[in-house]
Amino acid sequence: MKVLITGFDPFGTEVINPSFEAVKHLPKKIANAEIIKLELPTVFQKSSEILKKEIQIHHPEIVICVGQAGGRASISLERVAINLAEARIPDNEGNQPVDKKIEIAGETAYFTNLPIKAMMKNIQQHSLPAEISYTAGTFVCNDIFYRLMYLINNDYPKIKGGFIHVPFSHEQVNGRENLPSMSLDDITRSLFYAIESAVTVKVDILENVGVTH
């Protein structure tokens, strides 16, 4: 089995992005699955074009995109991607969409089809903080999550895909008042346990009750 996992490059006023810092420290194998790592630019649409090419090359069974959510205190497993691009700051190529549909023909939203509750529990059982989130925002993180789910729903129905938001790393918050953070090591370990569940869980808690994927 192959797992494609991506992180972003730094954006805004930050000098690192904990998402790819953590991704690049993951091992090459988790629960017998091959881990393929990819750094994406924090750029609307372009990031998903790069992602799509990698999917075509590697044929992964699982695709997980990871991004930074400054201000959150826990690993956030995202439930839903919405068909909306709206940016408070420019992305890394200067794009700043306002009230734009991501895909004209796409649905209003897609739910992830990863077993995110099992993933959350596996992270928590290893004494790390995790929660389910119901908004991935409207910046590049939601953009790639939406485009990934659109791709899965239209062209790759067998791929399981989703998005994980991670807090600032400890290095990013010193000197700023009371901002939550995690160590890069803990973020990396959390991603490890998330992937471990995604690879091994056959029937998610979600699927038991017949919900949305």
CB of 186 to its own copies, least distance (A): 5
**Active centre residues (catalytic):** 78, 141, 165
CB of 1 to its own copies, least distance (A): 26
Smaller CB separation from its own copies, 4 or 136: 136
**What span, in angstroms and rounded, lies between the C-alpha atoms of 166 and 22?**
9
Here the tokens at position 91 are 């992305």
Between the two ends of the chain, the Cα-to-Cα distance in Å is 21
If binding is defined by CB under 8 A, does position 137 make contact with its own copies?
Answer: yes
**What span, in angstroms and rounded, lies between the C-alpha atoms of 131 and 147?**
23
Is the Cα dihedral 197, 80, 106, 143 positive or negative? negative
If binding is defined by CB under 8 A, does position 19 make contact with its own copies?
Answer: no
If binding is defined by CB under 8 A, does position 195 make contact with its own copies?
Answer: no
Task: Lay out the site mask for its own copies across 142-181 (x = CB under 8 A, - = otherwise).
Answer: ---------------------------xxx-xx--xxxxx
Smaller CB separation from its own copies, 17 or 38: 17
Among the listed residues 65, 63, 73, 28, the one whose alpha carbon sits nearest the alpha carbon of residue 139: 65
Residues with Cβ < 8 Å from 189, sequence gap 6 or more?
126, 128
If binding is defined by CB under 8 A, does position 55 make contact with its own copies?
Answer: no
Q: Which residues pair with 82 in a beta bridge?
A: 109
**Interface positions with its own copies (CB under 8 A):** 71-74, 79-80, 82-84, 98-101, 107-111, 117, 124, 127-131, 134-135, 137-138, 169-171, 173-174, 177-184, 186, 205-206, 209-212
